[in-house]
Amino acid sequence: MSAALPTQDAAADAFDPFQSGAVERVVATSAAQREVWLADRLGREASLAFNESITLTLAGRLDAHAMRRALDAVVTRHATLRATFAPDGTQMLIGVTPPMLCPLDDLGAAQASDRSRRLDAAVMDAVETPFDLERGPLFRARLFRLGASDHRLLLTAHHIVCDGWSWGVIVSELASLYAAACDGGDAPGLPPADDWSDYVRWEREQSSGASGEAHERWWLSRFPPGDVPVLELPTDRPRATQRGFRSRRIDHVMSAPLVADVQRVGGALGASAFATLFAAFAAMLGRLTAQSDVVVGVPSAGQASSGLGRLVGHAVNLLPVRTDPRAAEPFSGFLRRTAGTLLDAFDHAALTYGSLLALLPVGRDPSRLPLVSVMFNLDPSVAATDAFAGLQAAVQVNPRRYENFELFVNAVRLADGGIRLECQYSADLFDAATVARWLRCYETMLGGIGRDAGAAIGSLPLLAQEDEAELAALRGRAVAPAVGGLMHDAFVQRARAEPDRRAVRDGHRQWTYGELDARSNRLARALRQRGVGRGDRVGICLGRDAELLTALMAVLKTGAAYVPLDPSFPSARLAFYAEDAALAWLLTDASAENAPRNWRADAASRVIRLDTDPSWL
């Protein structure tokens, strides 16, 4: 998304938009649309990360013909829903309004389990079927009849023509237009829709002249040259060299009393509910990563900033909000500062994410997004409504199967006052159990904030009761140490009592207790002859094989301490460890190619290679 973007004046000379079909007009794309267009070109999975989909549950007697008429009217009102894009992404081609294709699947005769399976499959098909930005259509609909009074309307759009705000506009107008269609009318008295060209014009004004310079100065003050943090979430799997897009979603519901406590705390400190939830989320990330410099992305609706509240399109901008959750600071102080930062960020939301990246000296890493890897949003959602002329409607945002961000938490307000956390996460990096635990951590921290917002961030509770119990179970039962016993004494006693009993097997090689005891004694004598004794430290850089046990026992028998050095680590890092530990000797073998070198002046003469050194074999 940060590569050079096509400009509005760079349209290919050979491209004639009116040859591609019935085109009503051609309008310029916005900067944010061009960023999405470029990201869409990264491949199939990258494109599917922009599939936005919702399901309307419609209870009551539904008129399918009236619903299709209402969908046609919505598409007629909003030019972006019948748009396609020029091959370079700089122009949006507004097509003449076609009849909206909305097939009806009648599942009424199917068994309940089969209906559920087929609905789930349809949702998966919606989010896993790519859109063609040049051919369209970029807005799809599908209606399901489950019973005489039970329907589902599945709507899907590419993010380049529809954002979260847009869904609210679409559902609200669809309800009014459906009611009018049921009455045989076409004009429910809706005010005219806002025009996309007006938004592009507003965006240009905000990004040019003194206004644009002010936005740039503020963001650059938040990210001075050479000072761009990277959020390092603990992953369940190594990060691949190339970023993947596979995603799954976990939902977690927080109760109304907890949400009320959070709102009370925020109100007392002069912060909004969103600022309070966001600050707690940033504080939790700080605890998870042990970082005190945390950047979290926040979506900003351009419709609100521009005053074009009835605009449907991609008018959202990503704001990289930088926070500094310090463990010793009271959460109340952190919240006050974060609330101010959020207000400033929204004041300067006109500078797009891609434009900011072009200004920052951010190193490019193909394994991750630059600057922002985690997103947080508070979504008012589209509440249940009875405006569909005799139908009760409820809206659900469908999970995506591909996602741009490592974590995207969308907090949705519920009718009972609670909040549902809809968390899309990278399936390439995290397990579902890990993300579920983090959401419990977030809820637990919010509970602690509700009880005492003045507590230090580092002292706020983090683990839920079930996670505390799981952690306690891993600790095992406390066992009093044997008085006067040394760590290796139990092994020596067993070797004396049962010298012929098998102690270790490594592939085809196996040793008895007596053999392992004898080998470790020989190596211990070799170390003692070299002056190793109590208080010394001996490095062990070996693979996980039987010889590792020989080395461990031998060092302990000399009275020295061993320093484990993982041979898979880079050689320079192991050399630093060896120098920092002031190793007296090093035990290694030929397989440990990264074994440390030159950690002291005479390091080369202080190495015993267990596979080739005749002095102990």
Q: What is the pLDDT of residues 496-540, one digit of tens each?
A: 999 999 999 888 889 999 999 999 999 999 999 999 999 999 999
The DSSP code sequence of 268-282 is HTT--HHHHHHHHHH
Q: In 3D, which of 341, 339, 342 has the Cα closest to residue 271?
A: 339
Cα angle 122, 127, 130 (rounded to 5 degrees) comes to 115
Q: Among the listed ranges 200-204, 379-383, 397-401, which one has the minimum average pLDDT value?
A: 379-383
Give the whole-angstrom CA distance, residue 256 versus residue 302: 30
Residue 78 has pLDDT above 60, yes or no: yes
Number of CB atoms found within 10 A of residue 25's CB: 12
Q: How confident is the model at residue 207 (pLDDT cuts 50, 70, 90)?
A: confident
Residue 10 has pLDDT above 90, yes or no: no
As a whole number, mean pLDDT of residues 303-332 equals 95
* Per-residue model confidence (pLDDT) at position 12: 37
Q: How confident is the model at residue 293 (pLDDT cuts 50, 70, 90)?
A: very high
As a whole number, mean pLDDT of residues 325-351 equals 95
Give the whole-angstrom CA distance, residue 153 versus residue 141: 7
With residues binned 3-state (H G I as helix, E B as strand, rest as coil), the percentages for the chain, rounded to 5, are 40, 20, 40
Residue 2 has pLDDT above 70, yes or no: no
As a whole number, mean pLDDT of residues 132-138 equals 93
Give the whole-angstrom CA distance, residue 135 versus residue 9: 22
* Per-residue model confidence (pLDDT) at position 385: 62
Tell me what percent of the residues of the chain surpass a pLDDT of 70.
Answer: 94
The DSSP bridge partners found for residue 106 are 145
Residue 18 has pLDDT above 50, yes or no: no
Write out pLDDT tens, residues 24-38. Answer: 899 999 999 999 999
Residue 3 has pLDDT above 70, yes or no: no
Residue 584 has pLDDT above 80, yes or no: yes
* Per-residue model confidence (pLDDT) at position 16: 46
Which pTM was predicted?
0.76
Decide if 84 contacts 19 (C-beta within 8 A): no
Amino acid (one-letter) located at 324: D
Non-local (6+) Cβ contacts of 200 within 8 A are 27, 28, 29, 30
- Treating both helix axes as pointing N-terminal to C-terminal, what angle do 273-289 and 331-347 enclose, rounded to 10 degrees? 110
Give the whole-angstrom CA distance, residue 279 versus residue 272: 11
* Per-residue model confidence (pLDDT) at position 384: 53
Q: How confident is the model at residue 184 (pLDDT cuts 50, 70, 90)?
A: confident
The DSSP bridge partners found for residue 116 are none
Print burial letters for 218-240: b (CB count within 10 Å at least 16), e (below 16). ebeebbeeeebeebebeeeeebe
Q: Among the listed ranges 106-110, 417-421, 444-448, which one has the minimum average pLDDT value?
A: 106-110
Q: Among the listed ranges 222-226, 301-305, 377-381, 599-603, which one has the minimum average pLDDT value?
A: 377-381
On average, the pLDDT of the chain sits at 90
Give the whole-angstrom CA distance, residue 525 versus residue 551: 12
State how far the alpha carbon of 550 is from the alpha carbons of 298, 451, 569, 591, in Å: 55, 54, 22, 16
Write out pLDDT tens, residues 452-468. Answer: 999 999 999 999 888 88
Residue 6 has pLDDT above 60, yes or no: no
For the ranges 100-109, 110-119, 152-161, the maximum mean pLDDT occurs at 152-161
* Per-residue model confidence (pLDDT) at position 11: 38
DSSP one-letter code for 29: P
Is the model more confident about 390 or about 88? 88
Q: How confident is the model at residue 427 (pLDDT cuts 50, 70, 90)?
A: very high
Decide if 203 contacts 302 (C-beta within 8 A): yes
- Treating both helix axes as pointing N-terminal to C-terminal, what angle do 546-558 and 513-529 enclose, rounded to 10 degrees? 50
Burial (CB count within 10 angstroms: exposed 0-12, middle 13-18, buried 19+), residue 45: middle
* Per-residue model confidence (pLDDT) at position 482: 61
Residue 258 has pLDDT above 60, yes or no: yes
Residue 97 has pLDDT above 80, yes or no: no
The DSSP bridge partners found for residue 425 are 248, 407
Tell me what percent of the residues of the chain surpass a pLDDT of 90.
Answer: 72
* Per-residue model confidence (pLDDT) at position 362: 79
Give the whole-angstrom CA distance, residue 152 versus residue 248: 22
As a whole number, mean pLDDT of residues 48-62 equals 95
Residue 374 has pLDDT above 70, yes or no: yes
The DSSP bridge partners found for residue 283 are none
As a whole number, mean pLDDT of residues 54-69 equals 94
